[in-house]
Chain A
Amino acid sequence: MRNTLVTLFAVVAGLVIASRPVGAHHGAAAFENDPAKRVVLKGTVTQWIWANPHTFLLFDVKADDGQLVRWVVEASNPPDMINRGWSIRSFKAGDEVTVTVRPVKSGKPVGSIIQVRFADGHVLSAVAGGNEPAPARP
C-alpha cells in the first residue's frame, strides 16, 4: 500500500514537472506559471492582430454581471505561429471561441494563449502538434 502511494505520488509529481508551462514569452515574469491558474473563457472575437513582436487576439467575454470584458491574449510572432498551423486568416470578427489562457499576475484581462477551440470544434494550439480538426459530421 505504502509502495503504491509512493509510486502514485511520484507519477503525479512527474506529471506536474513535465507539464509545466513553458514561460518563454516576452516578459515571462508577468505571467502566472501555475497550470491550476489557467482560465477557460468563452467569448466573441473582435480583432486578430498579426504583428511583431507577437500576435494577439482581442475577444469579448460576458461577465457574471452581464458586462462585456475585453480580453487581450498573445501568441508568438507570425513565423512561429505559421509553423504551428496558424495564419493571418485564423480568426475573423464575430467568431465564437473558447480560449484557454495563461493569465498575467496583474489581474488585468490579459494573458497568453494555450489553445483556442472554435464553434465547429476545431482547435488551434499554441504548442506545436496540438491542433485538432473539426469533428466529422455524422
Chain B
Amino acid sequence: MKKRCMALMCAVSAAGVIAALFAMPPVAFGQGQGEVRQPGAKYDFDFKGQKPALAPRRDISGVWEPAAGAGAGINANGAQQMPSDGKPEHELPYTPEGRAAFMAHKPTFGVTMVPSALTNDPMPGCDPQGFPRIVLHNYRTSRILQTPENVVILYEFNKKWRTIWTDGRQLPKEFEEPRWWGYSVGRWVDDYTFVAESGGFDDRTWLDNAGRPHSDAMKVQEKYRRVDRDHLEMTIVVDDPKYYTKPWTAMILSLRLQSPSFDIREMECSPTETALYNKLFANPAAGIEDSAK
C-alpha cells in the first residue's frame, strides 16, 4: 500500500511537472515570474554558457534588471526568501508586538489576504511604499548612480529614488525625524562589495506586499556584490529587535547590467487612476456598492 502511495505521489508530481512545462506558461503575475522579457532588456537566458568579463573595481553604477527575467524581482506574496505562504519554514521570528502588528494589517496578498476594497495597505492609496518594501515587493529596472558623496538608486516602481551617503559619515544613533525611505549610509567592504546600512524609518510603511510590519527601530542591511561585469547580487537583511527576535534575510536577487541607454519606463501611482480603479473594479469585486452612483 505504501509503495502504491509513493508511486501515486510520484506520478502526480511527474504529471504536474510535465503539465507545467507543456500546458502552462510561467506564472502570469506576481511571485517569481521566470522567463518574461521586457522589450530591449538582456537576461541570463540570452547568454547561456557565456562567461562574463571580470567585475570593475568599486563600481555598481549602471542600469540593472533582474537577471532571470522581467518578473524575477516581483514578490507579490511577500519577501522573496520568506513569502507569506503558511509554510513553517517561512514563519517570521515575530516578537509578540511584531505578531500583533502583522495581524492588524490587512494585505491583499499572502495568508492573511483580503479583497482589495477591504485592505488597510497604505500603498494602493499612493502613500509611499518606502524602503525596503520597494525592493522586497517590486524590484524592477533600476539605475544606480555613483558620485564621491553618494550612491543614488532610481527605481522604476512608482518612480522613486534613494540616496545612500558615501562621504564617510556614520549612521546616526538617533534620528531627527522618521523617514518613509529611511536614512542610509554605505561603504565598500572590499573592491567588489558595497554595503549600506539604513535606519530612521517611519513605521507607517510595510515591509513587504503581504503586510509584514516593521517598527521605528528597524535597521536594514543592503549588500551589493559585483560578481562580474554583467552581474550584481543584492542581499537584503532586516534587523528589527522590536518586532523580530533575530535578523532575517528577506531577499537575494541577481541583477544583470543593461545598456547605459536603456530607457526605464514610467510607472507611477496616480490617486486619480486609483480612484477610478476602485470605483469601476475593486469595489464591485468585493461586493461593495458605489455610493457615488
Residue A51 at the chain B interface, CB threshold 8 Å = yes
Option from A17, A26, A109 in Cβ contact (under 8 Å) with B12: A17
C-alpha gap A26/B74 in the complex (Å): 13
C-alpha gap A94/B8 in the complex (Å): 51
Residues in B neighbouring A53, C-beta threshold 8 A: 124, 269, 273-274, 277
Residues in A neighbouring B276, C-beta threshold 8 A: 49, 51
Most buried by B among A19, A29, A49, A84: A29
Binds A, one of B28-36, B179-187, B200-208: B28-36
Say whether A77 contacts B267, CB under 8 Å: yes
Number of interface residues of A (CB under 8 A): 52
Most buried by B among A21, A24, A58: A24
The bracket for how many chain B residues form the interface is 35 or more
Mark B22-53 against chain A: 1 for CB-CB distance below 8 A, else 0: 01111111110101111100000000000000
Mark A59-86 against chain B: 1 for CB-CB distance below 8 A, else 0: 0000000000000101011111011100
Residue A36 at the chain B interface, CB threshold 8 Å = no
Determine how close the nearest CB of chain A comes to the CB of B128; give it in whole angstroms. 15
Residues in B neighbouring A83, C-beta threshold 8 A: 36-39, 70-71
A residues whose Cβ falls under 8 Å from a Cβ of B: 6-7, 9-15, 17-19, 21-22, 24-31, 49, 51-54, 56, 58, 72, 74, 76-80, 82-84, 104-110, 125-130
